[in-house]
Homo-oligomer: A and B are copies of this chain.
Amino acid sequence: MQLQMKGISKNRTTLNATGMRATNQRALILDIIRKEQGHLDADEVYRQARKKLPLLSLSTVYRTLRLFKKLDLVEEIHFDEAHHHYEAKQATEHHHLFCLGCGKVVEFTYPLSHHVKRNIAEAEDFDIIEIEMRMTGFCPKCCQDRQ
């Protein structure tokens, strides 16, 4: 069986390039995460994916997300909530603003990496792989509502 959807075949190529098997499930999940602007958690990926692959199991979603994370295809973000959120790995470094009022997530770029990586890594003799800056606060709308 071959799925014929926009972007899917490109994803198959991506998957093949990593040496792992390009299954429909994996291609679809990668497609969903790449198309989606937001920051999906496992269950949201699952619900979206089942529209096209109704037999898909939640375990496969978890296994796939874990795999993608290891392969650096997706990034795991840690909000206040106990569970994880995922987004497609992007070229440009960006960070997250989390609104305590409405839960909205805003992405912003900030040239932190080069500067901090050099300074902190030297200071601490650490080999830095990743930087994640998470800011919480209130978005304009919620600022108003609180007054």
A interface residues, Cβ below 8 angstroms from B:
76, 78-80, 82-84, 97, 99-100, 106, 108, 110, 112, 116, 119-121, 123-140, 143
Contacting residues, chain B, for A134 (C-beta < 8 A): 78, 131-134
Contacting residues, chain B, for A83 (C-beta < 8 A): 82
Among A80, A83, A97, the most chain B Cβ lie within 10 Å of the Cβ of A97
Contacting residues, chain B, for A116 (C-beta < 8 A): 110, 133, 135
Closest 5 CB pairs of A and B: A78-B78, A128-B137, A125-B140, A127-B138, A129-B137
- CB pairs A–B below 8 angstroms (27 shown): A97-B120, A97-B126, A97-B128, A106-B126, A108-B120, A108-B123, A110-B119, A110-B120, A112-B112, A120-B135, A121-B137, A126-B135, A126-B139, A127-B138, A128-B135, A128-B137, A129-B137, A129-B138, A130-B136, A131-B133, A131-B134, A131-B135, A132-B133, A132-B134, A133-B133, A133-B134, A134-B134
Question: How many monomers of this chain does the complex have?
Answer: 2
State in angstroms the CA–CA spacing of A60 and B145 once bound together: 33
State in angstroms the CA–CA spacing of A125 and B136 once bound together: 13
